[in-house]
Amino acid sequence: MPIFDAGLILRIQQSNDIVDVIGEHLALKRKGREMIGLCPFHEDHRPSFNVNPSKQIFKCFACGAGGDVVKFIQMRENLSFPQALHRLADRAGIKVEPLRPKKSNIEHQESGIEVDPNAIARANAWAAKYFAVNLAHPEIGKAARKYVAERQLSDESVKNWQIGLAVGTSNDLLAAARQKKIPDKLLMAAGLIVGSGLSLSDKFVNRLMFTIADPTGKIIAFGGRTLTGEGAKYINSPTTALFDKSNALFGLDQARHKIVSSDVAVVVEGYTDCIMSHQFGVSNVVATLGTSFTSGHARILRRYAKKVVLLFDSDTAGLEAANRALQVALSSRIDIGIASVPQGKDPCDFLLAKGKEPFEKLITQATDVFAFKWDRLKASLGSQPTIAGKKQAVEEYLDAIAAAINAGNVSPIERGLIVNNLSRIMSLDTKEINRELIHRTGRVKTASSYTASADASHTPLDTGVGLSAIAQSEILEVLLAHPSMFDDAKDKISPDDFDVPAFRQVAQAVFTTLAGQPRAALQIICSAVEDPRIAGLMTTLEHEGSNKGNYSKRLIDALAALQQAKNQKNRASKEDLIRDISKQDRRNIGLI
């Protein structure tokens, strides 16, 4: 049962202008009729990435990535085709049937209500408004507003970050929600209430409420800071269908544009640290939610930035944190810098005391995590550079790196880069380091051991060799660049005539789309395929086709060549058949 029919896909595609959407992820500059930028899908040093506003297509001329707006989101956010469609439908405010996991009828009846992530998000949005109204209330919000003022959070920040208040009665939100006919089960699924049966109560009581959103701004959870000193200082929403704290970052929705344009993401530890950074105009800052920085966080930030700076309160920045960060840096293949705020302050205090420039200086002067670990180790071994001391430091350091490498599926190329880096930091010969590392990590892992789904989209497609493959590619080039030629081809061949699998997939999309919609643009044909690699191939073929022109003659020649190749194949298989039969005959003769 397809949730997305072709009409809906087109509506979603057309409601999300590709320049706007891509512009939210990378800096684009106008060049003639196109927009160009640095490709986010390969290590790009000159702008190879083109966005064509009139065709609504993107194309990288270096790595071959290409397609429509849906393919971009699929690749960029590492989403499936339906997930990317959902994301873009949300962005454009188009209502789509929820993606439901298949459930048996019994389960369905037992749960009573579908725990639909979109419904949870709506309940959260309602709760955020409710909390905000509480905080603004002249009487109810008075004490909390005093706290906010003491922390020097501006009115604008309170509004931008949807800060609110959970009041002191334990069923306040529950009662308000019931009045609004919001089902208890939904509040439970959203983590807004706790308990069971008749003893239900609010999860957050007497707390200043911080709203946690996903990168698109959808509210996925809350964090609450105690206003009375009772209980934990901070509590978060529990894990729900929308929220997992080890994979969520506070403030990413507000920070991601600046993260993309600066290529650096700064990670702090607290809500107010993050909000205060933005309040001071440093807006590439996000916060972890009471957990240390994980590889899940790194994977998310890698979509937006090349480098992450972890900014610790000085008392927590230690070797412990550096060790974990080292492991994350290696396993997530992202540069990590470590910085700490001096004199036992947290970033929020530091900003208020010193201002923006010194804060930015802390960030730009962050130490690469490898060097950080090495420096700390040397320091801990004392200032006397004895040979024994140095040897111990080297051993301990390489042990830590080896453990991180073993945990992180590091390819030989990356390993080479790491060794060069270590050689520079430790002033030791690369050969020596390599020998020591190999000794510690056991067998060198091959590059193929890293097969994250995001990277599968980068493995090149096999487009075949020989005359038949060239003919297939020519035909598709012509049809994609000049769809009106379809009339000259449709009766002569079918997608089954394309025996190169990648070309056959392109042909299937071309033939079905153009049969129903003659002269459909590339963007529309593109929406008929789910695999971004096939879309990339399509955009390459279309580009080649437009450059070569001469459509009619090329189509005729290619059709003839393909026909010839087909005849040859038929002949060959007939000969094979005859040979087989005659072999059998011989056997038969032998039997007789």
Nearest-angstrom CA–CA distance, 187 and 194:
9
Contact between 41 and Zn ion by CB under 5 A: the answer reads yes
506 near Zn ion (CB under 5 A): no
Instruction: Decide: is 60 part of the binding site for Zn ion (CB under 5 A).
Output: yes
The closest alpha carbon to 558, from 544, 572, 540, belongs to 544
* Residues 562-581 close enough to bind Zn ion by CB under 5 A: none
Task: Report the relative pairing of strands 285-287 and 264-268 from DSSP bridges.
Answer: parallel
Q: Which stretch binds Zn ion (CB under 5 A): 35-43, 113-121, 282-290, 533-541?
A: 35-43
* Residue span binding Zn ion (CB under 5 A) among the ranges 61-69, 82-90, 143-151, 155-163: 61-69
Question: Minimum distance from CB of 161 to Zn ion (Å)?
Answer: 35
Smallest distance from Zn ion to CB 299, Å: 19
Q: Does 39 bind Zn ion (CB under 5 A)?
A: yes
403 to 422: interface string for Zn ion, x by CB under 5 A: --------------------
Q: Which stretch binds Zn ion (CB under 5 A): 63-71, 203-211, 289-297, 299-307?
A: 63-71
Cβ nearer to Zn ion, comparing 8 with 63: 63
Shortest Å, Cβ 499 to Zn ion: 29
- Burial label for 373, CB within 10 Å (0-12, 13-18, 19+), is buried
31 or 142: CB nearest Zn ion? 31
Closest to Zn ion by CB, 42 vs 566, is 42
Q: How far apart are CA 485 and CA 557, in angstroms?
A: 13
Task: Tell me the three state secondary structure of residue 267.
Answer: strand
Count of residues for the chain? 592
Query: Is residue 502 classed as helix, strand or coil in its secondary structure?
Result: helix
Whole-number minimum distance, CB 62 to Zn ion, in Å? 5
58 token code pair:
């993107």
Residue (164 or 532) nearer to Zn ion, CB = 532
Q: Which amino acid is at 317?
A: A
Structure tokens, 440:
């510690």
Across the strands, what pairs with 308?
265, 336
Query: Which of these segments, 4-12, 39-47, 183-191, 510-518, binds Zn ion (CB under 5 A)?
Result: 39-47
- CB 41 to Zn ion: min, Å: 5
Q: Which stretch binds Zn ion (CB under 5 A): 31-39, 149-157, 355-363, 553-561?
A: 31-39
Query: Quick one: 57 or 144, whose CB is closer to Zn ion?
Result: 57
SS3 529: coil
Nearer to Zn ion, 260 or 437 (CB): 260
Q: How far is the CB of 38 from Zn ion (least distance, A)?
A: 9
Minimal distance, residue 329 CB to Zn ion, in Å: 23
Q: What are phi and psi of 54, to 5 degrees?
A: -75, -35
The shares of helix, strand and coil residues in the chain, as percent rounded to the nearest 5, are 55, 10, 35
Phi-psi region of 94 (alpha: psi -120 to 50; beta: other; left: phi over 0): beta
Closest contact distance (angstroms) between CB of 584 and Zn ion is: 54
Task: Give the whole-angstrom CA distance, residue 493 versus residue 431.
Answer: 59
Please report how close the Cβ of residue 502 comes to Zn ion at its closest, in angstroms: 18
Give the number of residues in contact with Zn ion, rule: CB under 5 A: 6
Cβ at position 138, least distance to Zn ion in Å: 56
Q: Which is nearer to Zn ion, 35 or 285 (CB)?
A: 35
Is residue 314 a contact partner of residue 268, using CB atoms and an 8 Å limit?
no
By the 8 A CB rule, do 462 and 455 touch? Answer: no
Q: Minimal distance in Å, beta carbon 43 to Zn ion?
A: 9
Query: Which is nearer to Zn ion, 63 or 96 (by Cβ)?
Result: 63
**63, HSE (Cβ side, Cα atoms, 13 Å):** 21
Q: Which stretch binds Zn ion (CB under 5 A): 3-11, 34-42, 66-74, 369-377?
A: 34-42
Spatial contact of 28 and 19, defined as CB atoms under 8 Å apart:
yes
CA distance 485 to 483: 5
Report residue 262: phi and psi, to 5°: -95, -15
- Measured from the CB atom, the residue of 62 and 241 that comes closer to Zn ion is 62
**In angstroms, what is the minimal distance from the CB of 40 to Zn ion?**
8
> What is d(CA 368, CA 362) in angstroms, rounded to the nearest whole number?
13
Q: Which is nearer to Zn ion, 123 or 538 (CB)?
A: 538
Segment near Zn ion (CB under 5 A), from 38-46, 211-219, 327-335, 497-505?
38-46
Identity of the residue, 50 or 332, whose beta carbon is nearer to Zn ion in the bound complex: 50
Distance CA 568, CA 565 (A): 5
Nearer CB in complex with Zn ion: 42/122: 42
Compare residues 173 and 526 and give the one whose CB is closer to Zn ion.
526
Contact region with Zn ion (CB under 5 A), list: 37-45, 409-417, 514-522, 530-538: 37-45
Binding Zn ion (rule: CB under 5 A), the pick from 8, 63, 235, 241 is 63
For residue 42, state whether it binds Zn ion (rule: CB under 5 A). yes
Q: How far is the CB of 333 from Zn ion (least distance, A)?
A: 17
Q: Which stretch binds Zn ion (CB under 5 A): 42-50, 176-184, 514-522, 576-584?
A: 42-50
Closer to Zn ion by Cβ: residue 60 or 190: 60
Distance CA 330, CA 443 (A): 17
Query: Whole-number minimum distance, CB 233 to Zn ion, in Å?
Result: 45
Rounded-to-integer distance, Cα 483 and Cα 476, Å: 10
Pair of tokens at residue 70: 């849906």
DSSP annotation string for 105-164: HHHHHHH-S---HHHHHHHHHHHHHHHHHHHHSTTTTHHHHHHHHHTT--HHHHHHTT-E
Instruction: Report how far apart, in Å, the C-alpha atoms of 294 and of each of 54, 237, 315, 326 are.
Output: 41, 19, 20, 11
User: Residue type for 273, please?
Assistant: D
Q: Which residues bind Zn ion (CB under 5 A)?
A: 39, 41-42, 60, 62-63
